[in-house]
Structure 1
Amino acid sequence: MKVLIAEDEPISNLYLKNTLVRWGYEVVSTKNGSEAWEVLRGSNPQWIAILDWEMPKMKGIEVCQKIRADSRISTGTYVILITGRDLDEDIEMGFKAGADDYLKKPFNNQILKAKLETARRALNL
């Protein structure tokens, strides 16, 4: 299963990438929302997209909105927003933008792994 990581913080990006590769995922890593959107637009496979909310050039929530507005990409993409935001209105905003799941930083690896397995099952339905 392919996983797209969009995380602008280099250490977090590398940590996520190494962890997911170790778990057997095929990972594409980007540093901002614009790069993530270009990867998604240029391909047609199923993706699990892990999008950091706060990034330069395009925020993760904006990428999420673009994904949901494009029917070619939307049906095969499961979006997990990661962020330090934890107010109810922020979580609601993320889901209204089309996120399938939400993970608060700092996150627990076992929770991340469980959310990725949920995403895999959802995409295989």
Structure 2
Amino acid sequence: MLVRLAVSSFAFSFRLSTGGKLVKVLIAEDEPISNLWLKNMLTRYGYEVISTRNGCEAWEVLKGCDPPGVVILDWEMPKMKGIEVCEKIRKDPRISSMYIILITGRDLNEDIEVGFKAGADDYLKKPFNNQKLKAKLETARRTLGL
């Protein structure tokens, strides 16, 4: 009960700081446990979460009439890789300004460079903890003025 109240207070203050509207975040992660973990964590932090399991599903959501402000993309996914979704977002003027966080097990300097050249705003190496992701999301909110 105590935890629930703390989460509710955080969500309430988060809504107030964003004008009463939750910031919408799209997750594209094919690993079911990671997807669920991300979804639960972001929901606890007060975000409105849309969860997809591959790049094609993510792209369909992004083409919709109410796209999210922030996208978290796993690099390696079936059907369409996160890096491809990232490139498509940057080429579409309607959604090109959204904040993109690329998550991946890749950590070579060349991979990081490829991710940023594809249009990622931020990069998280797996495995990562919730504090790192929370900090990246706060940066996204500040950058987008949300």
Q: Considering the TM-score relative to the shorter chain, is it more than 0.5? A: yes
Superposed CA RMSD: 1.0
**Counterpart pick for 2:106 among 85, 97, 108:** 85
What is the aligned residue count? 124
Counterpart of 2:103 in structure 1: which amino acid? I
Which has a greater percent of strand? 1
Q: Secondary structure at the match of 2:106?
A: coil
Cα drift, residue 45 of structure 1: 4.3
Q: Distance in 1 between matches of 2:123 and 2:59?
A: 19
Q: Distance in 2 between matches of 1:56 and 1:36?
A: 11
Counterpart of 1:99 in structure 2: which amino acid? A
Question: Does residue 30 of structure 1 match 2:52?
Answer: yes
Counterpart of 2:105 in structure 1: which amino acid? G
Normalised TM-score (structure 1) = 0.96
**Counterpart pick for 1:39 among 61, 65, 71:** 61
**Counterpart pick for 2:129 among 108, 112, 125:** 108
- Equivalent residue number for residue 142 of structure 2: 121
1:5–1:17: 8 Å Cα contact kept in structure 2? yes
Cα drift, residue 12 of structure 1: 0.3
Q: Distance in 1 between matches of 2:80 and 2:116?
A: 18
Question: Does residue 95 of structure 1 match 2:119?
Answer: no
Runs of 4+ in 1 over 4 A off after TM superposition: none
- Larger relative CO (CA 8 A, sep 6+): 1 or 2? 1
Cα drift, residue 124 of structure 1: 1.0
Q: Distance in 1 between matches of 2:48 and 2:126?
A: 23
- Equivalent residue number for residue 59 of structure 1: 81
Q: Percent of aligned positions with the same letter in both sequences?
A: 79
Structure 1 residue ranges without an equivalent (≥5)? none
